[in-house]
Homo-oligomer: A and B are copies of this chain.
């Protein structure tokens, strides 16, 4: 999600080492996996940091001879330094990296690959194709389509909805196009689609405007949980809570909890999981602990979170 590129807060470094070990499933050799991610500067990335740490804990226990080096960076140059240190000082065998930005990280990650390390790139591609062994990312088309299908299946023809868009990006276009395609021929009317920039305050303003312009709105695709919170505030301020439901996205824990509690304003959610970092770390670990091929592209599906399955997506200890 591009918005995470836009935050350049003071650098907050965290470092934790895993456990060094006894014997490996495969051949008893100790293997060191470096994990380099952006700092926990906002909700989604906070969740991602938490999941990275939990996964490293889990793997350190399950595979005592896997060792982990986790670094977090508030900007691209700090991240480049982190990665160089991992190679020079820790002699990593693999790197799992969620690039702060694609361009400045491409050459440094390429040199890790050229040094013979296993490289896993997460969420955002590098500027050059074919560097990484494994690519793990979310599915933006499914993110829009799954939400659109819910609207289609739960609103009659003639019902009116509004959309909040993210920051203008290819990614946002993919999501919105897939959403609209899912509604094709449904007779559901899209009244408006303005950019709330994946930001709670911007979304509040956009929704306030929608509410004053449109006397009938039956549902809102907020397309993001931060935006959903701003939208809900605006709806409350206008006293129209009973008139429309709202679908956000990404699986923020407070929203997942309200889905579990069957809040009629928030019937479902669509995943774009911060735990995708866990998939990347787990699969990188399998490269060393199993015979299973782990080279390729893993595109994590966007799933519908419903009251029935919400428990599986609820992580009360995560900050997100």
Contact = CB atoms under 8 A, between A and B. Distances in A.
A271 B299 contact: no
A276 interface: yes
Interface of A, secondary structure class, is mixed
Given A297-B301, A299-B297, A282 B278 contact: no
A293 interface: yes
B290 A300 contact: no
Contacts of A290: 55, 58, 278, 282
B296 A299 contact: yes
A235 to B, nearest CB: 30
A293 B271 contact: yes
A291 to B, nearest CB: 6
A228 B312 CA distance: 48
A127 to B, nearest CB: 19
- Each complex incorporates copies of this chain amounting to 2
A123 interface: no
Given A25-B58, A62-B25, A275 B296 contact: no
Contacts of A283: 283
Interface string A284-320: 0010001111111111110100000000000100000
A288 to B, nearest CB: 11
Interface in A177-191: none
A213 to B, nearest CB: 37
A82 interface: no
A216 interface: no
Given A58-B291, A279-B292, A282-B286, 6 more contacts: A25-B58, A55-B291, A278-B293, A296-B298, A297-B298, A298-B298
Interface of A: 25, 51, 54-55, 58, 61-62, 133, 139, 271, 273, 275-276, 278-279, 281-283, 286, 290-301, 303, 315
